[in-house]
Structure 1
Amino acid sequence: MTVSTLSVVPEATASGTAPTAQPDTSLAAPLWWRRSPHLHEQAIARAARPDYPAWLAHVKPAAACTRPIRLAGTMTTVEAATGRLLAERHTADMPDGVIYKPCGNRRASVCPSCSKLYQNDAYQIVRTGLAGGKGVPEQVAEHPAVFPTFTAPSFGQVHTRVVKRHTCTRRIDCDCRPEPCHARRDLTVCDHGTRLVCFARHDKDAPLLGTPLCRDCYDYDAHAVWNLMSGELWRRTTIAVGRYLHRLARQRGIADVHVTSASTDGTTRTRRRPPVRVEFDKGSEMQRRAAVHFHAIFRLDGPDPDAITPPPSGFDAHDLKAAVDHAARTVTFTTDPHPAKPDGWRIGWGDQVLTKVITTDGRGSGEISMGQVAGYLAKYATKSTDVTGHVSSRLTLDTIDLYADAQGSHTERLVAACWRLGRARWTCPACHQRSTRQPCPTCAARGREALEQVPEASPYRRLQRWAHMLGFGGHFLTKSRRYSITFAVLRSGRVEFRRAQTAGPEQTEAGEQPTTLVVNFLQFVGAGWHTTADALLANTSAQMAREHAETARQYLTTLAA
């Protein structure tokens, strides 16, 4: 029996999951056999049941998931024209009395199978925006596009690994000799008595990488606030890129265009728009020092808001690169006041901003290919805070003490800073009451403030909500509306494909409305497999199916060659 490499033990903290099995101390048995004294008996008992083939086919859609969702209820088929009930089926008549649905979690550390599907979808989204396909015109490959990387500023000196000259063929397997971390002739000592030097040549997996040389000197408050406000900084950056290109068009004598669009009330509106429009796709990566940085794609399109058209002939990729570099250097803003810093924090990008031009082959100096960009962004779509060593769910008053410590490790201090800044209360200058809202609700109720001014929660309150993400509250993959397709389009395409396979030869013709509708009345009853043996059998079956598909693909590739 081939055992899946996925984790077969469901999480016991989820509702309805099986507890973690006690491992067998006997080293003579295989690993899957030693997971529990009774695991092999449970697996044999399930496999010996007469309904085992039906159960295996029933759980096939979620067989590789580590924590599938269990749904119970009824599924009805009704006539589309009249609403007449044609058929009804209960999950009680199915194996285990439930329907298994993949969890759909994008994090590879939570569910490798679902995250792999999410990564493949992310690759298609990024690639179609560069090369076309799936409804995006193929001419988009000729549009100017660049690939910038935006990093966070420095909040203190940290242990690093720098390779000045690479002799390796693949950076992912880089074994080149790095430079000393922080080698100095003068043994600088900070105010806390720590020597700010490090002569070590750190390995790629060294635990010191990303940690401060002196934790007491490190500005954890600014770090947490920067992670929180990085989304606003990105929004301002995209606006600055568009304005730079608009100014450049005016300097070159390229006039604005008038675009007519239909309103919801049936009237038409004519708007004046710049001759170029910038579309983007952004992937977020958490660095070892727990600061987020962004890998992005900027693509230059024409002004048509309803279609993807080429930009004017007077623009090229180097103009777009200049606009991105200018925005990275100049865009900054100051946050709202905070009791810990009345003047607010200055938010801007770091000095290490690298912008490459995207081409078809990526062979030129300072260029990168479309396939490399798509794979690069899709890789980070399934990552979270794992690289920092901190992994947790959303923190509460009951769990914050497990992960926050103002005198602890690097990530513990950062979580503590998020929690402390997020719970700060203001002192109203009028009534001297402390509150988390501005203006003071008491003063607003008494008419001391403008009547239309509603008390708003402090933006720093979000730091507590996202303390488990070290202050970063954005999504790890975002795009502009007209960059390419969406995850929903890809998912609906798979659903339609499976329905067409299930329907068999009797299918409706193209463009014909379906005569029946399937209405589901399902509710959540639990997460995870019923037993560890069920997880083992389901994951093993999924692994064997993947191996069979891979063997078939290699065979077809050999025949084609």
Structure 2
Amino acid sequence: MVHFHAIIRLDGADGPDQSPPDWADHHLLARAVPVAARSVKLLSPASELGRWTLAWGEQLDIRPILLDPCAEGLSERAVAGYIAKYATKGAEASGTIDHRLSCSACRGRGRMSLMAACGLCHGTGLKPGLHLEALPVSEHARRMIRTCWDLGARPEYRALRLRPWAHMLGFRGHFSSKSRAYSLTLGDLRTARARHRSDQARQQHGLPPLDDATTLVLGHWRFAGIGYTRRSDHRRAHPPARPDRSPDRRRAGGVMTAPALIHSRRLYRVCEAMRLLSLSRSVIYELIRSGRLRSVTQGRTRLIPASAIDDYIALLEREAS
């Protein structure tokens, strides 16, 4: 059983941009809806349960939407509030649960292949530790969830994905659907909301309203920062140096040597010397204290000359030979 709410609008012959003729009023539309509902029928797919004819029931509550909130009947504000209530209501408010019941590995099938059962749910298709009979729901909701779960195991209903959506009673669509030719889109609603919030904020701060011909001039600047906003941007701009594998490496006296470092700067900070020498910070400071690596200071900053780095590398080569 499906409980369905629909907002039906009558447009002109050329689409939503054209108004209907004068003789096509809301009274005509109210009389046409029951005729259309009785004429719609859908035949279910063939299965072991047979084929069923699906149709709308006899309970039709048709109410015109009035643009005047003072008029007698259903106003547009009442309809908006009614839709907002369903838009903000969670699944648990209607007696179901707010999370999926199906196993994440097999998606409720209970098998990973034709011959292999799912090792996570052990063939049940449920999340480990879940049991349909132990769900904290009403008995009515439990029967509907059980029906979705049993029908989802049938191959003819596999495309409906009833088991992954059994917690939603088989419904996997958006809470609100409308015709693609409808004049009001969700993008229009978001744009109108953003414009309303912008105008509201400008009124609160005493700023003049903006229009298409307005030129906004900023007379106040504030320092926001320098450098990269994300570490990933810094890594892409400054990739780590790769080891030299060029053919210039040669043997001299039985020892593999490499060309001396070509320095583009005369002084390096400690963190930069760490990258050049592939040493940790504590080792760098220990070499400075022991005198094996020369350094200078500029104010409170300790700097290492490029020549000191070359001298330390030469010292290591002499010790190795």
Question: TM-score if structure 1 supplies the norm length?
Answer: 0.29
Q: Which one has a bigger Cα radius of gyration?
A: 2
More relative contact order, 1 or 2 (CA 8 Å, 6+ apart): 1
Given the two structures, how large is their TM-score scaled by the length of structure 2?
Answer: 0.48
- Return the structure number with greater strand share: 1
